[in-house]
Each structure stands twice: as C-alpha cells, then as structure tokens.
Amino acid sequence: MNTDRVLPTVSGLPTRVLVVDDEPQIRRFLDIGLRAQGYIVTTAGTAESALAAFAHLGADLVILDIGLPDRDGHQVLRELRRRSAVPVILLTVRSGESEKVAALDAGANDYVTKPFGMLELMARVRALLRPRAAASATPETFDDGRLRVDFAQRSVSLGGVPVGLARKEFALLALLIQHEGRVATQPGLLRALWGPTHERDTHYLRILVAKLRGKLGDDAAAPTYIATEPGVGLRFIGRAKPDP
C-alpha cells in the first residue's frame, strides 16, 4: 500500500480537512490520524458548528457523519453543496444501501461505513484529493503499466494489445476512471450513459459492465479493476488493489 504523502494542494498550502461527527472519540482518532498524515484538521460536533467552521476557515475536504444531533447529515450536505463543491466523504452505518445512494446522488463524493480502519479512510481521502493535486481537468491518459486508456484518442490497450471497446463500454470505463477509487452510483452511471429516463434500468448496466470486464480480462468474482458494491454502484480500484 502506498503511503505517499500527497499533501499540498495546488496552491502549495497544506490540505485542510473538516471532520464533523458528534462522537468525541471518533473526532479524536480522526484528528490524530489525519494530523499524523500532515493534514490540517478542524473538528466539529454539530451541524451548526460545522457550517460555521466551514464558513470561517474553509476546507479542502469534509468528512461528514450522517447522524448528527442537531440536524440530519443530509441537510448539512445540501447546505455545503449550496456554498461549494468541496469533496465530501460521508460516514454511514451499514445496511443502508439506498441511503448511501441517495446521499451520493445528493452530492457526496464517497462514503465510508462505520466502523472503518484508517487505511480505508485514507485511501478514500487520497482518491478524492488526487485530481485536485494533479490538475483541475481530467487527465488525458490512464496508465498503470498494464491497462492504458487514452481519453483523447478513445483508445484502450491491455498489456500493449489494443482492445476494441464499443462506444458505451468506453464511456463507462472513462466514467469509472474519472471516479477512480471512489464509488460511482448505479443511478448516476445510468443517467450519464442512457439518460435520466433509464435511471432504473439496472440490467442495462449489468450487461454493459459484464462486457467491459470481459474485454479488460477482469473477473467480477475477483476484480482487479472494477469492483461492485452491491446495491450501491461500481468502484474503479485500478491502482489501489487490495492484493500485494
């Protein structure tokens, strides 16, 4: 696992993270863990103080608990979205897939299920900050040494051998790589690929992703590129493989 410290933002200043959770113990370990990685951390225990802190101090990333004492986390998310496009990671509890999808569709960038390990959270944090650190626009190519995707040329090769992808297959791959390390929700993908009227036609997506996996030589049962999060969506795990 790479633990490179991708810390400074484009401006050269350290990355500021706002942690919002009503549990002091969670705030504490997130504060310690994130500071150890070189981030500047602000913590808030309520929706009110979180919005105030964001207004005064700003943040490059927000880690937001869904269940806050004074206001629903979803409301805080809407409030944040009204003010800025800051990346938001939601802290959720398990067994609420539809809630996760709703929150992601409402503007959250990713989620982590409680309880979570620091490694898992840091992977999400880095995935969200990466495009900001690299450049504002999407990169023109993706290359992990095996899979190479040229977005401008719309060409894909696997181990140097060109792979012919259909238009929709390429579009799906491009979308997933844009979200690298983050989850792309099913409704979001369906909207982007087939339009808003097909938001519920998940079997389209199943068939398309199966074809794409087949062409990339990726096994859904042991994925190396495209992982499925049942009931939520797809996650491109290209560079962050769990195996050594």
Partner 1 sequence: MHDFPPSPLLRDLTLGLLAAAASTALAWCAQRWLGLTDLSTVFIVAVVLVASRTRTLAAVVAAIACFLSYDFFFLAPRFTFYIHARQGVATVVLFLAAALVAGRLASRLRAQVLALRATNAHTTALQSLGRALASAADIDAVLAAGREALAQATGAEVLLRIGDRASEGDWGSLDAVDRAAADVATCESRSTGRFAEGASRAAWAFRPLGSGGVAGLRHAPSAQAPGAEQSRLVEAMLDAIAQAALRTRLVAELEQSHVANETERLRSALLSSVSHDLRSPLAAIIGAASSLDHYGASMDAADRHSLLETVRIEGERLDRYIQNLLDMTRLGHGALTLRRDWIGVDELIGSAVLRLRRYQPEARFTIAVAPGIAPVWVHPALLEQALFNVLENAAAFSPAGEPVSVDADERDGRLRIDIGDRGPGIPEAERRRIFDMFYSVERGDRGRNGIGLGLAICQGLVGAHGGSVEALPGAGGSGTVIRIELPRVASPESSAGDGP
Q: By CB under 8 A, tell whether 204 contacts partner 1.
A: yes
Task: Give the binding range for partner 1 (CB under 8 A) out of 6-14, 20-28, 126-134, 224-232.
Answer: 224-232
Binding to partner 1 (CB under 8 A): which residues in 91-110? 94-95, 97-98
Q: By CB under 8 A, tell whether 203 contacts partner 1.
A: yes
Q: Report the residue number, 13 or 207, with the smaller CB distance to partner 1.
A: 207
The count of residues interacting with partner 1 (CB under 8 A) is: 32
Question: Tell me, what amino acid is at 231?
Answer: G
Q: How far is the CB of 229 from partner 1 (least distance, A)?
A: 6
Q: By CB under 8 A, tell whether 25 contacts partner 1.
A: no
Contact 237, 181 (CB under 8 A): yes
- List the beta bridge partners of residue 198: none
Dig out the tokens for 168 from the structure: 């929709």
Dig out the tokens for 232 from the structure: 């939520």
CA–CA distance, 145 with 138 (Å, rounded to integer): 19
Binding residue (CB under 8 A) for partner 1 from 106, 134, 200, 217: 200
Binding to partner 1 (CB under 8 A): which residues in 167-196? 168, 186, 194
Task: Give the binding range for partner 1 (CB under 8 A) out of 44-52, 64-72, 143-151, 226-234.
Answer: 226-234
Cβ contacts of residue 144 below 8 Å, gap of 6+?
A: 238, 239
Q: By CB under 8 A, tell whether 67 contacts partner 1.
A: no
| φ, ψ (nearest 5 deg) of residue 36 | -60, -25
The SS3 call for residue 6 is coil
Please give the angle made by the CA atoms of 129, 135 and 137, to the nearest 5 degrees. Answer: 105
Kindly state the DSSP code that residue 8 receives in the 8-state scheme: -
Q: By CB under 8 A, tell whether 205 contacts partner 1.
A: yes
Q: By CB under 8 A, tell whether 223 contacts partner 1.
A: yes
Question: Which of these, 41, 45, 50, 124, lies nearest to 89 by C-alpha position?
Answer: 124
Q: By CB under 8 A, tell whether 28 contacts partner 1.
A: no
Q: By CB under 8 A, tell whether 231 contacts partner 1.
A: yes
Question: Which of these, 70, 78, 65, lies nearest to 19 by C-alpha position?
Answer: 65
Q: How far is the CB of 238 from partner 1 (least distance, A)?
A: 14
Q: By CB under 8 A, tell whether 26 contacts partner 1.
A: no
Q: First CA to last CA across the chain, in angstroms?
A: 8
User: Which residues of the shown chain bind partner 1 in the complex (CB under 8 A)?
Assistant: 94-95, 97-98, 115, 117, 120, 168, 186, 194, 200-210, 219-223, 227-231, 242
